[in-house]
Amino acid sequence: MLRTLLCLGLALLTSSLSAADLKTTGAGVEVGAGSLGSFILTYPEFVDGSQGPVHKQIEVKTAGSSATVRYEGGAECAVSVVKDEIEVSFKGIPADVKSWKMTTLIDIGFAKGGSWKIAEKEGVFPAEKSTPPQIASLNATSFLVKNAQGQSVSFTTPDYAFQQLTDNREWNWAVYHWMFVVPYNADHPTAKIKVSSDLASVAKLIDPFGQSLKDTFPNKLKSLEDLKADVEVDKVYYAGIETPKLDTFGGQPGSGEALGLKKTGFFHVEQKQEKWWLVDPEGNAFFHFGLCGFAPNDDYTYVKGREGIYEWLPKAEGEYASAFRPGDGDAHFSFYLSNVIRKFGSAYDYDTHAARMIERVRKWGFNSIGAFSPIPSSAHVMASFPYVTHLPINEWEGVPRIPGAHEVWDPYDAATAAKLAENIAREVPQRANDPLLIGWFIVNEPRYDELPRVIPSLPGKHACKQRLVAVLKDKYKTVEAYNTSWHAKAGSFEELLDAGLAVTTDAAKADVKAFVGEFLETYFAQIEKLYRQHDANHLLIGSRLQPITIEDEQLCRIMGKHLDVVSYNYYTLGVDTVALKRYHEWTGGKPMMLSEFFWSSPKDSGLIGGREVSSQQERGLAYRNYVEQSAALGFVIGIEWFTLVDQATTGRWFSKYNGESYNTGLISVADRPWKDMVAEMMKTNHTIYDLLMGKRAAFKWEDPRFEVKGK
């Protein structure tokens, strides 16, 4: 996907018009253009006369500069890339295929000065949501996209192509979408797409404080003198905030006695009068107000290869060494940290940072550290500031993932199971007796919903594919019976191991659904058993599911058997309480944590993208509506705002040139709080226990954008 930096403009490259770097991947052809970024052009999809999809992909095999795509019905497409050309060659195409199409996503960052051209028609990418969402629709064979700096990528499609450029914000997805559709001609089964780039332009885009030079906004830092003066301004601001009295851990004093809650010395959940409570170690009610990214992370940005866009960038050695990401040399730099160094006159260290942030966020009513944060240091212990953490089972920690199913491991694989056990046995016991620990997340946003598509398409080296074939063999006994049920032509069950299986019949779909159920039961039982062997005191709080994933009754019922709390990364405008109640019921009535969400205000932050509202105050109003409508349900026990500090203006570091640059933070790159937003947040955070105890009604923002249709 093209991310924010495509519009911001990037560093000078030596050549002007040149071929882009093309390579085949499991998802499509990746188009890389140096510091301009990269994006994925999907492999051909077949459509009928109404452009509806037909004969879905069932298998993609890549080898070097080529790929082979197989489809339902026996069709194949061979894809190869050479220099600046993508060649696609079809065979075995069914008669109902009228056309084929390829698509890509273009980052919403093009809204800042980006432009497009299709044939002779051209325009700018709209800053506001386009109405209608179709920005351009016409027959053409050329498409060019250009950023504010003048750098561009262009595509030449096959003859007779129809192109469409769409603003997907119409469907609450902040991205632009481009596609071309080409009539299928059996007499000419081979076609070519040419891709080139022009990267010569360069311009200064970022000021010495890491802010966009193009934008002005109320909170923008204008000088070093203002930055240093903020030290005294901050003292007055924070001293003026009155906070309610809370217990040592941030819970409501006396609520344990009033509700009859237990004091166990650890965080736990209890149900009283059909209402769920998160209980702190002192036995009091505790609503988890967590902040993701408590340590610097999304504020780091990748600077190598585009140094020319910054008005100021220090060397990695010297005064600003601690503003560079450790272990990465001079590749990743945090303007946020450089501002903190200049503001307070000392190098960055995490303990000092954490102590400062705990003092600040407690004033705003946040009481704990959320996901993507380090294990607590001495600052957290001294402040008795609670936290959540993740099990040590990430891919970089040696636990491999199933290709095509994001963040999902193979529970049937013996080596994977052994690594899970090793990591958990090494890390989890160290925190098993920590009273500040609320609970453990499993992974972040796994795509369990991809499993019905992915597992049948895998080669036989994967244990879960071997298990699927074994299950089919056990059920059908003979390959002839399998062929009849699946409308297949296999010569033996062994042939199924390395073949992509077309799941087209009702029987096939039912078989795959049943197998995915077995897979998920094995997966969650495996992790629960390994975890509880080493920690009997803390909560297992799930996998931070996305909306597309949680909408699965089978998954929810299986999760509910093995988790203490279901975690849901619920990005939305209006809170769909009907849906939340449905998921709660599906999980067997387990409590829920809404573990990631935010709103951004591009108009007054100098940043772009994300789920947008019109001002910082509206960010706070959206927060109040979300948190209070959810908390009033009686089973939502906490939330986590994403993130503490805004993402870097030139994109977060780990996506290189394609990183998000959203106004996610409570604090800007200049270490300035978004005061209008947190003023609203405090109205909820400081009085949440009055809401939970039934002493006041939940806040509802009477804004049409936040109404849930059909409720």
Per-residue tokens: 556: 């929810």
CA atoms within 13 A on the CB side of 56: 10
Those residues with Cβ within 8 angstroms of residue 337's Cβ, 6 or more apart along the chain or in another chain = 296, 299, 320, 322, 323, 348
The upper half-sphere exposure of residue 440, i.e. CA atoms within 13 Å in the direction of its Cβ, equals 25
Given this model, what pLDDT does residue 200 score?
A: 83
Residue 687: which of 641, 640, 628, 636 has the closest Cα?
A: 628
Q: How far is Cα 125 from Cα 350, in angstroms, rounded to an integer?
A: 40
Contact 258, 285 (CB under 8 A): no
Residue at 49: amino acid letter? G
Angle between helices 350-363 and 224-239 (to 10 degrees): 50
Please give the DSSP secondary-structure letter assigned to residue 102. E
Tell me how far CA of residue 618 lies from CA of 163, 218, 236, 704, in angstroms. Answer: 37, 15, 25, 13
Q: What per-residue confidence (pLDDT) applies to 376?
A: 83
Structure tokens at 302: 């990748």
Nearest to 198 by CA among 155, 152, 156, 154: 152
Contact criterion met (CB below 8 Å) for 206 and 212:
yes
The pLDDT value given to residue 464: 98
pTM for this model (two decimals): 0.92
Are the CB atoms for 629 and 698 separated by under 8 Å? yes
Q: Produce one character per residue of 312-336: b if its CB has 16 or more CB atoms within 10 Å, e if not.
A: ebbebeeebebbbbeeeebbbbbbb
Query: What are the residue ranges of CATH 3.20.20.80 in the chain?
Result: 224-300+342-447+538-706
Q: Which residues does the chain have with pLDDT short of 70?
A: 1-19, 49-52, 710-711
Portions of the chain given CATH number 2.60.40: 5-198
State how far the Cα of 24 lies from the Cα of 26, in Å rounded to an integer: 7
Q: How far apart are the first and last CA of the chain?
A: 34
Among 697, 592, 588, smallest CA distance to 638 is for 592
Residue 320 DSSP label: T
Reduce the DSSP state of residue 402 to 3 states and report it. Answer: coil
Q: Residue 142 in contact with residue 119, Cβ under 8 Å?
A: yes
DSSP string, 496-529: GTTSPPP--SHHHHHHHHHHHHHHHHHHHHHHHH
Record the tokens describing residue 438, joined without a space.
């609320």
For residues 266 and 537, the answer to whether their CB atoms sit within 8 Å is yes
Q: Which two tokens mark 710?
A: 């059909």
Q: Please give the Cα distance from 562 to 411 (Å, whole number).
A: 15
- Burial of 495 (C-beta count, 10 Å sphere; 0-12/13-18/19+): middle
Which regions of 416-536 does DSSP assign to beta strands (E)?
Answer: 437-441
Signed CA dihedral, 554, 559, 565, 566: sign only? negative
Calculate the alpha carbon distances from 114 to 1, 134, 144 in Å.
16, 17, 11
Q: Name, in order, each residue with C-beta under 8 angstroms of 491's C-beta and a sequence gap of 6 or more.
A: 479
Q: Which residues contact 119 (CB under 8 A, 6 or more apart)?
A: 138, 140, 141, 142
Provide the token pair at 36.
């301009």
Q: Cα separation of 593 and 116, whole Å?
A: 42
Distance CA 466, CA 557 (A): 25
Q: Which H helix or E strand runs over 164?
A: strand 162-167
679, two tokens:
């003023």
Task: Give me the amino acid identity at 319.
Answer: E
479-486 vs 463-476: helix crossing angle, rounded to 10: 100
Cα–Cα distance list, 163 to 178, 188, 190, 514, 624 (Å): 7, 20, 19, 40, 42
Give the pLDDT confidence score for residue 13 in this predicted structure: 32
Cβ 697 vs Cβ 383: under 8 Å: no
Calculate the alpha carbon distances from 523 to 459, 464, 519 in Å.
20, 11, 6
- Tokens linked to 297: 């992370």
Which positions ≥6 away from 61 have C-beta within 8 Å?
A: 67, 68
Closest listed residue to residue 650, CA positions, set 291, 339, 333, 372: 333
DSSP symbol at 612:
B
Beta-bridge partner residues of 361: none
CATH architecture, range 224-300+342-447+538-706: Alpha-Beta Barrel (3.20)
Q: In one letter, which amino acid is 665?
A: G
At which residue do the structure tokens 């994403």 appear? 642
- Let me know the angle formed at the C-alpha of 677 by 286 and 8, rounded to the nearest 5 degrees: 120
**Beta carbons within 8 Å of 71's beta carbon, 6+ residues apart:** 46, 55, 56, 57, 58, 77
Q: Which pLDDT score, from 0 to 100, does residue 658 have?
A: 82
Residue 620 host element (H or E): helix 616-631
pLDDT of residue 51: 60
Answer whether the bond into residue 547 is a cis peptide, omega within 30°. no
What is the architecture of the domain spanning 5-198? Sandwich (2.60)
Q: Is 673 helix (H, G, I), strand (E, B) or coil?
A: strand
Closest by Cα among 201, 207, 198 to 153: 198
Of 237, 148, 242, 239, nearest to 201 (Cα)?
Answer: 148
Q: How far apart are CA 60 and CA 67, in angstroms?
A: 7
- Taking alpha carbons only, the member of 678, 616, 685 closest to residue 238 is 678
The angle, 0 to 180 degrees and rounded to 10, between the axes of the packed helices 506-532 and 553-562 is 20
Minimal CA–CA distance to 685: which of 290, 248, 247, 259? Answer: 290
Q: Are 203 and 309 in contact (CB under 8 A)?
A: yes
pLDDT given for residue 11 in this prediction:
33
CA pair distance 704, 391, nearest whole angstrom:
40
The reported pLDDT for the residue numbered 343 is 98
